[in-house]
């Protein structure tokens, strides 16, 4: 599963979050491996730079925030896209 | 303001009788084409590699979803690599799903949306390639006409 590929990047982000928050609150960090490749104003810019620097590889593009926003998908959460009544 | 208006059809019955419940049964479905994100298409072109063929299917406009979702196996087949993860609550507990950048074209409208982040999830078994959530609707007007089984997207 591709999500496991980013486990190291996620762990590194958690370790670095406090220092990133001090200088880059709200910006987008590009992390590959255990390295911050850059800080950008938008996720699109970060992704484009990641492609340019490392090619088409898994990369973590994450907004520097105290907590990541919650996304909700009731259809997936409850499996209610289809049901027989 | 471009308008996409669609009326659901019932085989062998024209016009659709009022209050047929077709839209309620099927939901606001739209034909879409899933493509690699613009930046990746550009990189592939620069390196002389062919871009994978887009994949067509049906998407459901889902006002209950805060963000859009695309079938993960389809995105993997396009060769798009993840840019993050999302923790998704399911009936079976929390699961971690990949997040991808992707481009979605609404068929019959000529509108292409570059999503910086969509969550990958198994949707194929539901007969869908995508759920179009409120991230897309942020810049649109959705008019849902249940009695006439039609809906309109204006953007």
Q: Model ipTM?
A: 0.86
A83 interface with B at CB cutoff 8 Å: no
A57 interface with B at CB cutoff 8 Å: yes
- DSSP result, B46-61: HTTPPPPPPEEEEEEE
Instruction: State the total domains in chain A.
Output: 1
- Helix ranges restricted to H, chain B: 22-26, 38-46, 72-77, 134-137
pTM (global) more than 0.90: no
User: What was the pLDDT predicted at A68?
Assistant: 87
CB neighbours (10 Å) of residue B107?
Answer: 16
Q: Which one of B36, B41, B85 makes the best mutation probe of the A interface by having the most chain A beta carbons within 10 Å?
A: B85
What confidence tier does A3 reach under pLDDT thresholds 50, 70, 90? very low
Residue A34 lies in a domain: yes
CB contact under 8 A, B67 and A73: yes
Residue A85 lies in a domain: no
Residues A32-66 have pLDDT tens digits of 999 999 999 999 999 999 999 999 999 999 999 99
Residue B111, judged by CB atoms within 10 A of its CB (0-12, 13-18, 19+), counts as middle
Residue A84 lies in a domain: no
User: What was the pLDDT predicted at B90?
Assistant: 67
Q: Reply yes or no on whether the pLDDT at A79 is more than 90.
A: no
Contacts of A3 in chain B (CB under 8 A): 82, 85, 96-98
Residue A46 lies in a domain: yes
Backbone phi and psi for residue B12, each to the nearest 5 degrees, phi listed first: 80, 5
Contacts of B89 in chain A (CB under 8 A): 72, 77
Q: Reply yes or no on whether the pLDDT at A1 is more than 70.
A: no
User: What was the pLDDT predicted at B34?
Assistant: 97
**3-state DSSP call for residue A9?**
helix
User: What was the pLDDT predicted at B91?
Assistant: 66
User: What was the pLDDT predicted at A83?
Assistant: 46
User: Angle at which helices B38-46 and A43-54 pack, to 10 degrees?
Assistant: 20
User: What was the pLDDT predicted at B19?
Assistant: 61
- CB pairs < 8 Å spanning A and B: 107
User: What is the residue range of A46's domain?
Assistant: 2-77
Residue A83 lies in a domain: no
User: What was the pLDDT predicted at A65?
Assistant: 96
CB contact under 8 A, B82 and A71: no
In which order are the strands placed within the sheet that holds A35-40? A35-40, A28-32, A60-63
Residue A41 lies in a domain: yes
Non-local (6+) Cβ contacts of A56 within 8 A are B40, B43, B44, B79, B80, B81
> What letter would DSSP give residue B125?
G
Residue A29, judged by CB atoms within 10 A of its CB (0-12, 13-18, 19+), counts as buried
- Residues of chain B whose pLDDT is less than 70? 1, 7-22, 89-92
């Amino acid at each position: 599963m591709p999500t496991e590929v980013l486990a190291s990047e996620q762990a590194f982000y958690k370790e670095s979050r406090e220092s990133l928050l001090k200088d880059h609150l709200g910006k987008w960090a590009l992390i590959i491996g255990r390295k911050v490749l850059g800080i950008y104003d938008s996720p699109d810019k970060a992704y484009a730079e990641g492609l340019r620097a490392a090619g088409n590889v898994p990369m973590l593009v994450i907004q520097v925030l105290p907590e990541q926003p919650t996304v909700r998908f009731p259809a997936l959460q409850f499996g209610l896209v289809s049901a027989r009544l | 303001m471009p308008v996409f208006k669609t009326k659901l059809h019932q085989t062998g019955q024209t016009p659709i009788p009022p209050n047929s419940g077709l839209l309620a049964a099927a939901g606001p479905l739209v034909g879409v084409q899933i493509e690699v994100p613009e930046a990746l298409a550009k990189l592939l072109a620069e390196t002389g590699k062919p871009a994978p063929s887009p994949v067509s299917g049906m998407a459901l406009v889902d006002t209950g979803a805060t963000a859009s979702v695309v079938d993960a196996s389809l995105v993997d087949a396009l060769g798009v690599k993840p840019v993050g993860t999302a923790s998704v609550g399911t009936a079976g507990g929390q699961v971690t799903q990949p997040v991808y950048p992707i481009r979605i074209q609404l068929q019959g409208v000529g509108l292409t949306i570059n999503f910086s982040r969509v969550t990958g999830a198994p949707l194929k078994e539901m007969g869908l390639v995508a759920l179009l959530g409120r991230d897309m609707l942020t810049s649109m007007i959705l008019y849902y006409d249940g009695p006439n089984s039609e809906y309109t997207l204006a953007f």
